[in-house]
Homo-oligomer: A and B are copies of this chain.
Amino acid sequence: MLREMLENVRIKSPLIHNITNYVTVNDCANILLACGGNPIMADDIGEAEEITSVCDGLNINIGTLNQRTIPAMLAAGKRANTLGHPVVLDPVGAGASKLRTETALTLLKEVKFSVIRGNMSEIKTLASGSGSTRGVDAGILDRVTKENLGQAVAFAKEFSCKTGAVIAITGAIDIVSDQEKAFCIYNGHPDMSRVTGTGCQLSAMTAAYAAANPDTALTAAAASVCAMGLCGEIARSRMSAEDGNASYRNYIIDAVFHLTGENLEKGAKYEMR
């Protein structure tokens, strides 16, 4: 099942428009090439809609957000909606500043997203701001554990109902959920958090998976999350005693480059809830 998701990316080679931060943009481009997709980066309002139109999917990432690119995000997002292209939102740092929180909420209001991927803190910020009368359940910790997994899954399903998007909450345990079903994913390695941009890279790759698998957004997003975590494991096992986070960064992308559908199917560790 996950295998087909990956293989469709390699067969269709979707072109992904990225409006993303300048910190991790090079890694986003290389991971898109590694997984079988193709990247274009364009963030000026003078070309955002046109570039989106020639692509197969759109990835909006609000890291290093600035006022010049917000209108481009909105315009590209709306155009992608009109064209039926999948759109991924990575709400980097939502909650850390009003600019990021409000921009993320505006994007949520104006654009229909296929997948929203962030950490629990970011997703809670979006859910809290989106008008839920109950607010965010204070009982949901920022760190998903085996103990609070059921609660976290319920939260993800509820936010999926509100937004219509597949919700991907990544952390020690990843949750990828639509309104009814959730993948709880156990792939990955803690050291991935010491490489900048593994989350950004995952969002970019998820846009490629969503674009190549338009009718199965949940499974596509879950396959992308499993692939990233599995590649984090493969890359970790390749590290020598002298390798640190810079080499780890390269090895993760290298592992994505070589990952096959068969190995993804075998290596994915998840349960459905």
The answer for the CA separation of A238 and B246 in the assembled complex, in Å, is 14
> Contact: A254 with B247, CB < 8 Å?
yes
Chain A stretch 51-67: residues in CB contact (< 8 A) with chain B = 51, 54, 63-67
The answer for the CA separation of A44 and B65 in the assembled complex, in Å, is 7
The answer for the CA separation of A250 and B253 in the assembled complex, in Å, is 12
> Contact: A33 with B253, CB < 8 Å?
no
Shortest Cβ distance from A57 into chain B, in angstroms? 16
| Chain B residue contacts of A83, Cβ below 8 A | none
Additional A-B contact list (11), CB under 8 Å, known A46-B67, A242-B254: A30-B195, A30-B249, A44-B66, A47-B96, A47-B99, A66-B68, A244-B257, A244-B258, A246-B257, A247-B251, A247-B254
Q: Does A79 belong to the interface (CB within 8 Å)?
A: no
A33-B195, A195-B30 known; A249 vs B246 contact (CB < 8 Å) = yes
| Chain B residue contacts of A43, Cβ below 8 A | 64, 66
| Chain B residue contacts of A197, Cβ below 8 A | 26, 29
**Which of B64, B100, B246, B256 has a CB less than 8 Å from the CB of A30?**
B246
The answer for the CA separation of A46 and B103 in the assembled complex, in Å, is 11
| Chain B residue contacts of A246, Cβ below 8 A | 30, 34, 249-254, 257
Shortest Cβ distance from A180 into chain B, in angstroms? 36
How many A residues have CB within 8 A of the partner chain? Answer: 55
The answer for the CA separation of A246 and B31 in the assembled complex, in Å, is 8
Shortest Cβ distance from A260 into chain B, in angstroms? 13
The answer for the CA separation of A133 and B23 in the assembled complex, in Å, is 41
Q: Does A196 belong to the interface (CB within 8 Å)?
A: yes
The answer for the CA separation of A42 and B23 in the assembled complex, in Å, is 10
Interface string of A179-206 (1 = CB under 8 A from B): 0000000000000001111000000000
Q: Does A245 belong to the interface (CB within 8 Å)?
A: yes
